[in-house]
Amino acid sequence: MVRSTKDVWSLLTSITTIIIVVQTVLYEIKRISEQFIPKQVRERILWIVNSLVNIGFGVTTLSIDEFDDYLGNEIYNASATYLSTIITPSSCQNLKVFMNTNFKRTTKGSEKNMMSLTLENGEKIRDVFNGSIVVVWEFIATTSTSPLKNGSSKSIMNRTFKLSFKKKYLENVVGVGGYLSYVLEKAKAINEERKVVQLFYKLHDDYHYTDGNPWLGIDFDHPSTFQTLAMDEGVKEELILDLERFLDRKEFYKSVGKAWKRGYLLYGPPGTGKSSLIAAMANYLKFDIYDLQLSTIRKDSNLRNLLLSTSNRSILVVEDIDCSTTTNSDQRLCMQPTNYSRNYNDKNELTLSGLLNFIDGLWSNCGDERIIVFTTNHKERLDPALLRPGRMDMHINMSYCTYSAFKTLALNYLHIQNHYLFQQIQNKINQVNVTPAEVAEELMRTHQDDVDQALQRLLLTLNSKPTSSSSNN
């Protein structure tokens, strides 16, 4: 028994000595490697070692790089968005905080700070999929240098997510309907909720762009929504249904061989809300707006390059199309060129036929989920080629103010849904031509608490107008 005890103590002493020696050797290796081996090389070696260890334990690790040959990786971006929603101070020790300077306006008009947490370099976070599949995310950031033509070099940040899980769950992670598909869908929904709609505009062709993008964008913080839009309720409901049907029919458009796009023509007198309707459509769909000013484009090739640089899920707007077109599709557009375009020796070669080719010709298939909106005050002046189905699929008459549109304005400006003067206003508004903009201006002239005075002023305005030949419905 004594001998046995001595043997145990001898064994423990030997093990302790070995541990001390190993620790000393590892410390020396670490010290020497830090002096002579670059950090990114050390990190790569460490990952190789970890991978070899993981193979022994049946663990698979996927690398999700931010870029691949300068092309952005959609899965990386989706992963970053998704992880920002599951990170909590209790799940990780080292975090970074980010707040978007933009804000999302809610239906009540309040501002919501877009603050999110992201992983620090080397930090890990655990997630569970389908109740039993455990995955571990790790964020890795390294720097490398790239030589420049002038002999200098620039630093490049390389960002990667490492996703580790048991090998037997590979199909559950990367397969159809698996974990990564789930991450992509969740990220898409999150981005749609967070998105701030952008309004893009183009400067003339003399302007030189440093990033190759001919569009300049600003945040589009227009308050118009379908709830506040003063237009005929029946037309409004029909338009909303048409937009929702368009969004849900990606596979249908593909199956029938048509580009996934939709064209709308908004026509009617000034002040009937055409621009407000476009803003409401953009806010409802969360689509960016591209304001296409044909007077800033010299020829068809410029228009082609411009339209190819627009993004998916966007609305292309050409306002007052009747002021830019002629009655002959072979003639040029923009009959009144801007001052800068007169400085060119070559004539303006932007033609209506060229524009039509980009609407429903071969080039119309370069992009998905696009909406094209033309506006005009004079529909009768348009070339019939613009109006056929497939180009302008839905024609929306932005008529003079109807009674239902007036009730929307009364709710917006006076916060009322009924009043003893409503019947008189309904009778007059069906007999005269008054635009929603005129009605809104009258309701704004008086303090919203003085409802009687506001409605009486509106009645005076309606009574001063001549009776129209056709009444509003």
DSSP string, 423-472: HHHHHHHTTB---HHHHHHHHHSS-TT-HHHHHHHHHHHHHTSPBPSS--
**pLDDT for residue 221:** 85
**pLDDT for residue 417:** 93
**pLDDT for residue 250:** 86
Q: What angle do CA 41, 44, 46 make, to 5 degrees?
A: 110
**pLDDT for residue 331:** 47
**pLDDT for residue 327:** 41
Residue type at 181?
S
**pLDDT for residue 72:** 74
**pLDDT for residue 416:** 93
**pLDDT for residue 124:** 87
**Parts of the chain belonging to CATH 3.40.50.300:** 200-326+348-397
350-361 in b/e form (b: 16+ CB < 10 A) is: bbbbbbbbbbbe
**pLDDT for residue 183:** 95
d(CA 443, CA 445): 6
CA distances from 92 to 59, 98, 117, 125, 224 (A): 22, 16, 10, 6, 41
d(CA 349, CA 302): 10
**pLDDT for residue 299:** 79
Comparing C-alpha atoms, which of 143, 142, 83, 91 is closest to residue 118? 83
**pLDDT for residue 452:** 92
Task: Return phi, psi of residue 166, to 5°.
Answer: -65, 140
**pLDDT for residue 317:** 93
Fold of 200-326+348-397: Rossmann fold (3.40.50)
**pLDDT for residue 328:** 44
d(CA 181, CA 78): 10
d(CA 434, CA 272): 9
**pLDDT for residue 116:** 67
Per-residue pLDDT of the chain (473 residues; tens, 9 = 90+): 445 666 766 776 777 677 666 666 666 676 666 666 776 666 566 656 555 555 555 888 999 998 876 667 889 989 998 998 888 766 666 777 766 554 444 333 334 445 667 788 888 888 999 988 999 999 998 888 877 777 777 777 888 999 999 999 999 999 999 999 999 999 988 887 778 888 998 865 544 444 456 788 888 888 999 999 999 889 999 999 999 999 999 889 888 888 888 999 999 999 999 999 999 999 999 999 999 888 778 777 788 878 888 888 899 999 888 766 544 444 445 444 444 444 444 455 777 777 777 777 655 666 678 899 999 998 888 888 788 777 788 999 999 999 999 999 999 999 999 999 999 999 999 999 999 999 999 998 877 678 999 999 999 999 999 987 655 54
Task: Return mean pLDDT, the chain.
Answer: 79
